[in-house]
Amino acid sequence: MNDVLAGRALAKRFGRTVALGGVDLAVAAAEAVAIMGPSGSGKSTLLHCLAGIMKPDAGEVHLLGQRIDDLGERKRSALRRTRFGFVFQFGQLLPELPAEENVALPLMLGGVARQDAVRTARQWFGPLGLGGMEGRRPGELSGGQAQRVAIARALVTKPAMVFADEPTGALDQTTGHETMRLLVEVTKHNGASLLVVTHDPDVAAWCDRTVEVRDGRLLTGGVAA
């Protein structure tokens, strides 16, 4: 077993609604997994439980063999900051900061000096096709460019896992495909695993494996073959 992240028998309720009804899901090292399902199926709840954003009512989550779902909020928060990276649909960039400082922010939050953090952040712009855009603010970037900045920010701390929630939801098809290609490639190139929540089969097709969630249960592919 070389699972980076594993959720076992995860269950979560919101009032009478069962969001997760005992889900098992494991992600191997440098593996890209897509979670698909219709709206309200529980796919985002599953991502939130696995990422330590939300505590499951039952079940366990392990990161590199260490249980993380029973950690306190402070430790889970630190874990998200240092071991995980996040890419959301939109709005995750701080509009006040130029692109390079958006990317440098997680490093600074981890205690890296500002100059070093910005220097490290700049190294990500070239490979992601963002050369020359370091000083631009998010409002001055296209949707695809902004998502590439978000990818750089998710990976700048060298995380073990990257979580992406509908990363191409706000992009046109061509830009969406290009963004997914970059996300998968760069994540794997950095040795990280990727978990993508999407309802788009074309997006899921970029991943190594797709699991389908419906009514809080996994229909297929919970464990790597």
Partner 1 sequence: MNLELTWRLLKGGGRRGLLGTWLTLGAVAVATALLLFAVTANFAFQSRGERDAWRNPVPAGSAATAVQAARFDYVRDRRLVVVDVAALPGRAPAPPPGLDRFPAPGQTWLSPALAALARELPADQFAARFPAVAGQLGEEALAYPGELVAVVGHRPDAPVMTAERSDDWVVGRPPTRVADFTGRVSEDAQAYQVLALIASVLMVVPLLVFGGAAARLTVARRDQRLATLRLVGATPGQVVGMTVAEAVIVAFAGAVAGTVAYAAAVPLLTRIEIGGGPWYAGDLWPHPLLLAGTLVAVPLLVGLSAVAGLRRVVVSPLGVARRQTPPGMRVLRVLTLLAVLAAFPLVGLEPSATVIAVAIALALLSLNLAGPWVVGLIGRITAAFARGPALLLAGRRLVDDPRSAWRTVSGVALTGFVAGFLGMLSPGAFSSGASDAVFRLAVPEGRPAVVAERARERMRDAGLAARVEQAKKLVTVTVTGIAAPATGDPARGDTARGDTARGDTAAGEGAAGDGDAVDAAVVDRTRTALAGLVPGWTPTSEADDQRFGFQLLADVRVGTVVVLAVSFLVAIASAGITAASSVLDRRQTYGLLRLAGTPLTVLDRARRAETLIPLTVMGGGTIAAGVFCATPFMLGAPNLSGAVMLGVCVALGFAGVLGAGALTRPLLVAVTTDPSPRPD
Pick from 62, 55, 36, 29: nearest CA to 161: 29
User: 29 vs 78, which CB is nearer to partner 1?
Assistant: 78
Q: 150-187 burial, b for 16+ CB within 10 Å, e for fewer?
A: bbbbbbbbebbbbbbbbbbbbbeeebbbbbbebbbebb
Alpha carbon distance 72, 111 (integer Å) = 21
| Total number of residues that touch partner 1 (CB under 8 A) | 34
Alpha carbon distance 34, 208 (integer Å) = 8
Question: Is 24:75 a contact under the CB 8 Å cutoff?
Answer: no
User: 106 vs 222, which CB is nearer to partner 1?
Assistant: 106
Residue 139 as a binder of partner 1 (CB under 8 A): the answer is: yes
User: 28 vs 105, which CB is nearer to partner 1?
Assistant: 105
Name, in order, each residue with C-beta under 8 angstroms of 197's C-beta and a sequence gap of 6 or more. Answer: 34, 35, 43, 44, 46, 47, 163, 164, 165, 166
Q: Tell the smallest beta-carbon distance from residue 95 to partner 1 (Å).
A: 4
Residue 138 as a binder of partner 1 (CB under 8 A): the answer is: yes
Phi-psi bin for 104: left (phi > 0), alpha (psi -120 to 50), beta? alpha
Residue 160 as a binder of partner 1 (CB under 8 A): the answer is: no
Q: Tell the smallest beta-carbon distance from residue 105 to partner 1 (Å).
A: 6
Alpha carbon distance 19, 14 (integer Å) = 7
Q: Tell the smallest beta-carbon distance from residue 225 to partner 1 (Å).
A: 31
Residues 78-107 close enough to bind partner 1 by CB under 8 A = 78-82, 84, 86, 88-89, 91-92, 94-97, 101, 105-106
Residue 19 as a binder of partner 1 (CB under 8 A): the answer is: no
Phi then psi for residue 60, to 5 deg, are: -135, 155
Residue 223 as a binder of partner 1 (CB under 8 A): the answer is: no
Residue 77 as a binder of partner 1 (CB under 8 A): the answer is: yes
User: 138 vs 176, which CB is nearer to partner 1?
Assistant: 138
Residue 181 as a binder of partner 1 (CB under 8 A): the answer is: no
Binding site for partner 1 (CB under 8 A): 44, 48, 51, 53-54, 74, 77-82, 84, 86, 88-89, 91-92, 94-97, 101, 105-106, 108-109, 113-114, 137-140, 165
